[in-house]
Amino acid sequence: MDATLAPHRLDALSAGARPRADARRWGRWALNGAAALSLGFILLPLLLVTWLAFFRQEIPSFPPEGYSVRWFGAVANNKIFVNGFLLSLQVGIAATLIGLALAVPASLAIARRRFFGREPINTLLLMPLVVPGVVLGTAIYVFQIETEIATGLPVLGSTAGLVAAHALIVIPWAVRLVTASFAGFDPTIEEAAKNLGAPPFTTFRRVTLPAIRPGIVAAALFGFVMSFGNLEMSLFLVGAGRTTLPIAILQYLEWKIDPTVAAVSVLQIVLIGAAMIVTDRYVKISQVV
C-alpha cells in the first residue's frame, strides 16, 4: 500500500507532518539540553572542589600554577580531620545498627498488621525527617542537659549522646524504605510456608527476610549516609575538641578554603561514591530513591 502511493500524495502527507515532527525534534533537543545543564549545575561544586584538591599552590587562584597530590598527605597529618572521620564512622555505624534494630520490626508491624494507632505511629516515626535539623539540634541539646542534671551522667558531648541522637534520624529513613519494600510482597507466600510446617521464625528468616532485604540494604545505606553527613543537629551535640567530619570541614571553611580541605572533601566523595556502588550491587539505587 505504502509503495503504491502516488508521489504527489506522499508529498502532501509529509508536508503536513513535517512541522509537527520538527517541533518535536526541537522540543527534544531543548529538553535534553536543559536536563544536561541542570545535571551539570548539580555536579559543578563537586568537580570544582576536586579540581582544587590537586592544585600545587595553596591559594585557590586561577589559573592554577601546577598540579600536585601532596594535599592528600597533608590530610593524613591533620588530627582534626582524621579524628573527625573516625568519630563520624563510629557514630554512623552504631546509629545505623540501633536505628535498624528499632525500625525494621516497627516497619514489619506497620506494613503487615492492622492495629490501633497505626497511622499516628507511622507519622511519629517519620517526624524526625520533617523537624528542621537546627530545631532538632536545639531540642536534643536541652534534653541532654536536663538528663545530665537529672542523672548526673555526662551525656552532652559524649559519643553515646551523639549516637542516640543520630539513631533518631536513621529511623524515619529505615521505616520509609522497609515499609515500601513490603509493597510488592505477597503475604500468601508466608502462609504457604506455614502450611508446609515452617515455624514462625523459620518463615521469617527464609521467606520474609529475603523479600525485604533490598529495603533493609537501602535503609542501611541511607541511614549511614544521613548520619555520617549530618551537620545541623550534630553541631549542638559535639563536645569541645571532638567534632565529626562534616563539622570539622565546616569550621575549617569558615576560616579559609585551600587544597587541604578540598582533599578531605574528595576523600569523602570517594568514600560515599564507593558505598553507593557497593550498595547498588544488592539493590538498584534508582529504584529506592
Distance (Å, whole) CA 158 – CA 52: 35
C-beta closer to other proteins: residue 7 or 19: 19
Using the minimum distance from each CB to other proteins, give the nearer residue, 3 or 110: 110
Q: Which is nearer to other proteins, 4 or 195 (CB)?
A: 195
DSSP 56: S
Residue 232 per-residue DSSP state: T
CA atoms of 216 and 177, how far apart (whole Å): 7
Q: Supply the minimum distance, in Å, between the C-beta of residue 205 and other proteins.
A: 16
x-or-dash string of contact with other proteins, 55-84, rule CB under 8 A: ----xxxxx---------------------
> Which of 132, 154, 199, 239 forms a contact with other proteins (CB under 8 A)?
132
146 is a contact residue toward other proteins (CB under 8 A)? yes
Which of 10, 134 has the CB closer to other proteins?
Answer: 134
Matching residue, cell 506455614 = 194
The strand pairing partners of 239, in sequence order, are 242
**Residues 6+ positions from 154 with CB-CB distance below 8 Å:** 148
Quote the CA–CA distance of 212 and 182 in Å, as a whole number: 6
Interface with other proteins includes 89 (CB under 8 A)? no
CA distance 120 to 243: 35
Binding piece for other proteins, criterion CB under 8 A, among 4-12, 136-144, 149-157, 209-217: 136-144
Q: What are phi and psi of 238, to 5 degrees?
A: -80, 150
Q: Tell whether residue 143 is a contact of other proteins (CB under 8 A).
A: yes
Q: Which of residues 209-248 bind other proteins (CB under 8 A)?
A: 225, 229, 231-232, 235-236, 246
> Does 103 help bind other proteins (rule: CB under 8 A)?
yes
